[in-house]
Copies of this chain bind each other. A is one copy, B any other.
């Protein structure tokens, strides 16, 4: 008999296996129906077992946010890896080293300076590494604009060294969209601008085989992905309250929770204190800017049922303060309702940030722990 979750020490990160499997299947089916490859971003779970599920469902290659992830996943047999953060010159040697050991690593640049550094190193070492130019489709973060004169310049620099592999973008602005129409429009903006960049390179006589876009919201709201070759998405594997706030999923779809234990109360204030503070939940307050602020997370009972109105409203390092959204009057007698020792589960604002606070996951199904999966952190 597998152990009950009642036997777990708290705080502890739980994966609801059925919910995760459904999320993996849903995203894969969607990408299949749109005719593009799915290259999951494994930064969310940083867990070999999770990535194996994604691969088994049909994913082609993985996306990583650190070279440490590239190393760990390559060691576990994932040899098609896109490192999707602009490559610092100091990291070129480590990237080439992965390639020499057989990893099909690709990297990203968005400036003449970075392209020059990479091209010079490639010529010096006689090495080749597939390189994507990052495109700015939303003014959100990195990348060159599709109509920037820098784009063909960077393209020629990379192509001259035999490195140019295509273009990529991440539409981070999708996290600020409100409503389905805005998400559909943002997905189309991401697609159209990234494809325009690819066509501009091709018009300049440069090759652009890969056209890589992605974010969980745009992946799920894109109506067409014409011209796109692959989609990268990460957080969909667990989902979270930010995604629920965007309408990308329901709270009941969220596969990651943090299990905590009630350690005290302030009855007059309607406070329930737990041992799941920000060290277990992360400091992420991603729902703060959304219409429904979920504090540090939405509270569920031990079986995972949402306790309507109850959120972690304050968090210290190892204390979470659970309160009713409408205050002490709505909370009732918290000592009677949530006695000391009660187990609660917290749905996270941001799965990537919450998962990163833990060394591994307890994988649960039907109230029992089916497996323990390690994850890693660091660089």
Known: A90-B341, A111-B340, A340-B117. A273 touches B142 (CB 8 A): yes
Q: Evaluate contact between B141 and A319: CB separation under 8 angstroms.
A: yes
A358 close to B (CB within 8 Å): yes
For A117, A318, A339, the residue with the greatest tally of chain B CB atoms inside 10 Å of its CB is A318
Q: Which of B65, B264, B316, B357 contacts A317 (CB 8 A)?
A: B65
A210 close to B (CB within 8 Å): no
- Count residues on chain A whose CB falls below 8 Å from chain B CBs: 58
Closest residue of B by beta carbon distance from A69: B318
A113 close to B (CB within 8 Å): yes
Q: How far is the CA of A262 from the CA of B11 in the complex (A)?
A: 36
For A10, A91, A262, A279, the residue with the greatest tally of chain B CB atoms inside 10 Å of its CB is A279
Q: Evaluate contact between B340 and A12: CB separation under 8 angstroms.
A: no
**One of A161-169, A197-205, A280-288 contacting the partner:** A280-288
Q: How far is the CA of A352 from the CA of B316 in the complex (A)?
A: 11
A173-201 interface (Cβ within 8 A of B):
none
- For A317, what are the chain B residues with a Cβ–Cβ distance below 8 Å? 43, 65, 352-353
Q: How far is the CA of A128 from the CA of B379 in the complex (A)?
A: 44
- For A224, what are the chain B residues with a Cβ–Cβ distance below 8 Å? none
- For A111, what are the chain B residues with a Cβ–Cβ distance below 8 Å? 264-265, 340
- For A335, what are the chain B residues with a Cβ–Cβ distance below 8 Å? 113
Closest residue of B by beta carbon distance from A44: B317
Q: Evaluate contact between B285 and A110: CB separation under 8 angstroms.
A: no
Q: How far is the CA of A266 from the CA of B110 in the complex (A)?
A: 10
- 20 CB contacts below 8 A, A to B, read A10-B379, A65-B279, A66-B318, A88-B262, A88-B263, A89-B340, A111-B340, A117-B341, A141-B273, A141-B319, A141-B321, A142-B263, A142-B264, A142-B319, A279-B356, A280-B379, A282-B283, A283-B285, A283-B353, A356-B357
